[in-house]
């Protein structure tokens, strides 16, 4: 059985009311949505993440998501800036979250470059490009963890937590 509801909305651009009908299936039993999701606190952390992304908007969004989940974030717009940050940072850096395709150096190449100074640092590569581009940069053939852009806050924090909690694997 279908429950009928009438919806109307005012649009500013047209400055008139728009009307439509929306049909929702009737639910006989209550649905427990809380039990279907991981508790928000479980994706939190206190680790330090070196975020390397050449697109400012993507970097800002990812940084805000991670900070809201209690991670310490070091931001770099270029691989060269990431290398400088990594060398200058006195504390530990538990995760390198880097774009795959960047000017000057790829994310996997950056990870190899930083591995000498930070062998304990985990790596999570991200890309919005097709699989072909990711394959060409060696991500899918390696042991490097990967996340596809665009991603949701839940997807990012879940993947970050998975990589941080996973057993170390050689690069």
pLDDT at position 162: 95
- 81: exposed, middle or buried (Cβ count in 10 Å: 0-12, 13-18, 19+): middle
Domain assignments of the chain as residue spans, ordered by start? 43-165
Would you state the structure tokens that stand for residue 162, as one six-digit string?
Answer: 């998975």
Q: Is 99 helix (H, G, I), strand (E, B) or coil?
A: strand
161: nearest Cα among 34, 37, 35, 46: 46
Residue 115 neighbours by CB under 8 Å, 6+ apart: 121, 171
Contact 94, 71 (CB under 8 A): no
CATH topology for the 43-165 domain? Rossmann fold (3.40.50)
Contact 126, 99 (CB under 8 A): yes
Phi, psi of 18 (to 5 degrees): -115, 140
Would you state the structure tokens that stand for residue 118, as one six-digit string?
Answer: 């930070």
pLDDT at position 38: 45
Would you state the structure tokens that stand for residue 122, as one six-digit string?
Answer: 């985990």
For residue 16, list its beta bridge partners: 11
Say what the pTM is: 0.72
Residue 110 is classified by DSSP as H
DSSP codes, 25-74: E--SS----GGGS--GGGG----EEEEE-SSHHHHHHHHHHHHHTT-EEE
pLDDT per residue as tens, the chain (171 positions): 445 555 555 555 556 666 666 565 655 666 555 444 444 446 789 999 999 999 999 999 999 999 999 999 999 999 999 999 999 999 999 999 999 989 999 999 999 999 999 999 999 999 887 655 544 545 555 577 889 899 999 999 999 999 999 876 554
């Amino acid at each position: 059985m279908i429950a009928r509801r009438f919806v109307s909305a005012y649009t500013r651009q047209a400055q008139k009311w728009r009307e439509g009908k929306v049909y929702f299936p009737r639910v006989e039993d209550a649905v427990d949505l809380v039990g279907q999701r991981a508790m928000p606190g479980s994706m939190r952390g206190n680790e330090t993440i070196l975020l390397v992304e050449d697109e400012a908007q993507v970097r800002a969004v990812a940084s805000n998501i991670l900070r809201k989940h209690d991670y310490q974030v070091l931001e770099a717009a270029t691989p060269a800036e990431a290398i400088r940050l990594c060398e200058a940072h006195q504390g530990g850096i538990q995760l390198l979250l880097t774009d795959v395709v960047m000017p000057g150096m790829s994310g996997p190449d950056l990870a190899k470059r930083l591995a000498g100074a930070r062998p304990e640092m985990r790596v999570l590569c991200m890309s919005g490009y097709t699989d072909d581009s990711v394959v060409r940069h060696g991500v899918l053939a390696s042991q490097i963890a990967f996340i596809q852009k665009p991603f949701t806050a839940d997807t990012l924090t879940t993947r970050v937590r998975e990589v941080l909690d996973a057993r170390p694997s050689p690069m």
